Amino acid sequence: MKRYLTAMLRSSRLSEPQPRIARLRHSAIWAALFVFTTVATGEAKAVNNTNVEMFKLYAHMKVLDDKQYRCLVILWRNESKWSPVARNPKSTAFGIPQLLKMTETNPFKQIDLGLKYIDHRYKGDTCKALKHQEKRGHY
């Protein structure tokens, strides 16, 4: 009888939403880490849509605010189309954020440096950076 109750409780516990959500979150984190390490070790190789989505996901984890994230997506789409190997023929700008004299080839470090620049110049407001870019052609 005791084993029956234990199995029954175990079965009902597995069907509860909390453990199911925790299992999904755990799986998603491991999948993201696998993809991040795979992409990071590939560094500046061919960029495909999956890589771009991972770069955007990484940026969203750094920014957190949805409005600021949407502005960042538009800003860097205008600048580099989220390509870590994008070059500006008119200047020394390079990478996803198109920073001048950028030598970093790791796309995740490029995102960190771009966000650091926005934080320094626009006090972290990516929408201000986007408005400046729309007016002047650069941010």
Amino acid identity at 55: F
Mean pLDDT by 10 residues, the chain (139 residues): 52 55 62 58 60 94 94 96 95 96 95 97 96 94
Specify the pLDDT at position 50.
84
Q: Would you mind telling me the total number of residues written for the chain in this entry? A: 139
pLDDT of the residue at 70: 96
Res 103: pLDDT: 93
pTM of the model: 0.67
Residue 14: what pLDDT? Answer: 54
DSSP codes joined into one string, 88-112: -TTSS-BTTTTBTT-----HHHHHH
pLDDT for the residue 22:
61
pLDDT at 44: 44
Question: Cα dist. 100→17, 43, 53, 113 in Å?
Answer: 49, 19, 24, 11
Q: What angle do CA 98, 99, 102 make, to 5 degrees?
A: 105
Of the candidates 87, 108, 92, which has an alpha carbon nearest to the alpha carbon of residue 35?
108
Tokens (6 digits) for 31: 């999948």
Strand pairing partners for 87? 94
Per-residue pLDDT, 49: 80
Per-residue tokens: 133: 């870019």
